[in-house]
Amino acid sequence: MTTTRSASQQSRRAVFASWIGTTVEYYDFAIYGLAASLIFANLFFPSTDPAVGTLLSLSSFAVGYLTRPLGALVFGHFGDRIGRKTVLVVTLVLMGASTFVIGLLPSYSQIGIAAPVLLIIARLLQGFSVGGEYGGAVLMTVEHTSDRKRGLFGSLVNTGATAGLVLANVVFLLVFQLPDEQMMSWGWRIPFLLSGVLVVIGLVSRLALEESPDFADAKEEGSVRELPVLEVLREHLGTVLLVAVGIIAAGSAFTMTTVFSLTYGKVALGMDNSAMLKVLLPATAVILVGLPLFGHLSDRVGVRPVFLAGAASLIVLPFAWFALMDTGQYVLMLLGFSLLFVGYAANYAVVPAYFSQVFPPAVRFTGMSIGFTLGLIAGNAIAPAVSAWLLEATGGWVAIAGYMAVTGVLSLVAGIFLRLPGADGQQPAVRAPAQDAQGVR
């Protein structure tokens, strides 16, 4: 009974420690995306053509993804070599510090070309740290949780993405109430500086967490690999690529709704920033409710069917989202965001439990981190810039919705070919690390 209680406590602690890290990651992601869409063009990328300045600013958002693969390789290697806990502490500190520094940077008018250069360096460091953050956070939760609850607990970690998004938007909504002069001079810095508070909370929770049981067992059994990346590339490259393609649709949907929608509202609909945020924020409640519901459902029917259903919905829902958003009517716009978020929640809820189980424990951190990171580059990173270009080139949203639909098709196909361990005889299913349905492991 004591062992069972201890395992249960560690499972809850792992969920919170992973959740707070994901919250910080997506808070940092959201505030940079918001600033890149609405503020940084004037502060760091001045141009005689506003559209060019916005495109450059959104491109600075994308460059953060360039160092994510390197971060996935480095932190994945050490996560599989020395343990999940140590790596997660390092990634959290580096990620938070990079964001905090952005809040201290001088603007282009103060130091010239050095301003965007420093901004991009800080953004690259953000990407490097995040390359190992999500994979490690997911593994700490999944490997501390019994098989029967991995869908639910993994989805709870993913609610951190929405929590970070909501917090970022609330902070920016408050900042937008400042007079333009104050907002552009010092107000925009507040969201970035507040990241330090979240990092301290996350650091305390992670330092109190025990190492992953799966990694501890692998270390005790002597199965830790000296160069896990070589085994991943040699034996699991196909799985890595399927994971990368599988996450594209969810990543694109998240970035389009939270970043590009603000640019679209401003450019195409003539709506101010506060008006768009007042539509976006209530709709995120759908994600907060939907993720655990779909996670719980996946523990009953399987993670793969839920993932496939979510991917299929993301092929058609972008068209409904844009059509409803184009009405300019609050209720219909809210409905459009909510519908797209239902599909996103179904698809993304099961990613932790699904994608972590397709790799053996000895190379799981490396394999998942590389695959997930490559998928984010293909989905999240380029979506705002590509969509801004499509809007400029076509003058409408149909091509953009088609672009999102293609990502849905790609993720659906990847999900069809991506098989869980044990289903195809390649490797045994992942065992419960702490306790099973009957009690103590």
The ranges assigned to domains in the chain are 2-212+225-420
Strands (E), 251-385: none
Query: What secondary structure letter does DSSP report for 275?
Result: H
Q: How many whole angstroms separate alpha carbon 30 and alpha carbon 259?
A: 7
| Global pTM exceeds 0.85 | no
Position 192, amino acid = F
Q: How many whole angstroms separate alpha carbon 376 and alpha carbon 250?
A: 9
Q: How many whole angstroms separate alpha carbon 156 and alpha carbon 138?
A: 10
Q: How many whole angstroms separate alpha carbon 255 and alpha carbon 65?
A: 13
CATH dotted code for 2-212+225-420: 1.20.1250.20
| pLDDT for res 7 | 61
Rg over alpha carbons for the chain, rounded to the nearest Å, is: 21
Q: Residues 379, 351: contact at Cβ < 8 Å? A: no
Q: Residues 211, 84: contact at Cβ < 8 Å? A: yes
| pLDDT for res 51 | 65
Mean pLDDT of each 10-residue bin along the chain, 441 residues long: 57 83 83 79 69 66 78 89 86 88 87 84 86 84 81 89 84 84 86 88 84 77 80 91 95 89 88 84 92 95 95 98 95 97 96 90 88 86 86 92 97 92 43 36 29
Strands (E), 25-150: none
Q: Integer distance in angstroms from the first to the last C-alpha of the chain?
A: 11
Q: How many whole angstroms separate alpha carbon 90 and alpha carbon 375?
A: 23
| pLDDT for res 423 | 46
| pLDDT for res 422 | 52
| pLDDT for res 209 | 79
| pLDDT for res 427 | 37
- Strands 435-436, 439-440: pairing is antiparallel
| pLDDT for res 147 | 74
Of 76, 66, 417, 421, residue with least CA distance to 232: 76
